[in-house]
Amino acid sequence: MQPDSLLCATCFLTLIAAVLPASCRAAHPFITDDAGTQGAGNWQLELLGERDRLDRVADPGSGPVQTSRRSTVLNPVLTRGLLENLDLALGLNYARYRTAEDGIVTVEASGMSDSTLELKWRFYERDGVSFALKPGIQLPTGDEDRGLGTGRASWGVNLIADYEAGPWALFGNVAYFRQRFRLQSDRDANREDLWRISGGATYQISEHFWIAGEMGARTNSARNDVFLPGGTGRFAMLGAIYSPTDKIDLDVGLRKRLNDAESTTTFLIGATFRW
């Protein structure tokens, strides 16, 4: 495995994670979370998947190179309502990625990546307006030598606001993530302080069907990746949510880059079960 390719793989997977995975109806296909909690004694299981694609030509120093990066992340998240306004969520991650340059595969790996443990505390709710705080830690369960993790525990916090009025629900987040690495090569290649500002909305068009949209900006984890240039990535997402019952949500979405610091496209699919 070539060192430079391994660094790119680590940057790429970290960019997908992008602050903390969001874990109510705004959880997926959004990155932006909402302030909803499960209620004391209730459970929620989210089965989430993302397929990320980056195709770009750039000059890393020895002439133009056509790079093709593909990444698949499977992310089950189990949430338990501890109190009416307090949730605890455990997220596991399985990742598979491949990078090819000028048609030649330079690096690929698959396996368990880093996991997350998060609390969500809704501290205000009145007249359709809610605020919540969501701190969390990222656990080093992935193999950093294969580009599947950071090798050290990291932490983050997300400030959440939402507003519901009729068929509309609006969400906004300001999130910070402190990313820590065991390998010096990863510390050199990646930024450690990551920010995200994003907002989303759903509109209910029938009893069981919602359309979803989102826009945001976030820190580009990679410091000097010529194929993902720029310090801040901007993105937009369109999706749909179908709820055959009040205990099940099925969703799809497509996230697109709005500048070069983001991957080309990300396809999102998820299923949520509550009991």
Tokens encoding 23: 């874990």
3-274: which CATH topology? Porin (2.40.160)
Contact residues for 96 (Cβ-Cβ < 8 A; gap 6+): 71, 72, 108, 109, 110
Contact 54, 12 (CB under 8 A): yes
Secondary structure of residue 142 in the 3-state scheme:
coil
Cα angle: 80, vertex 15, 219; to 5 degrees: 100
pTM of the model: 0.90
Element (H, E) at 232: strand 232-245
Tens-digit pLDDT profile for the chain (275 aa)? Answer: 444 545 555 555 555 454 444 434 457 899 999 999 999 999 999 999 999 999 999 988 889 999 999 999 999 999 999 999 999 999 999 999 999 999 999 999 999 999 999 999 999 999 999 999 999 999 999 999 999 999 999 999 999 999 999 999 999 999 999 999 999 999 999 999 999 999 999 999 999 999 999 999 999 999 989 999 999 999 999 999 999 999 999 999 999 999 999 999 999 999 999 99
Contact residues for 206 (Cβ-Cβ < 8 A; gap 6+): none
Residue type for position 169: A
Phi and psi, residue 12, nearest 5°: -65, -50
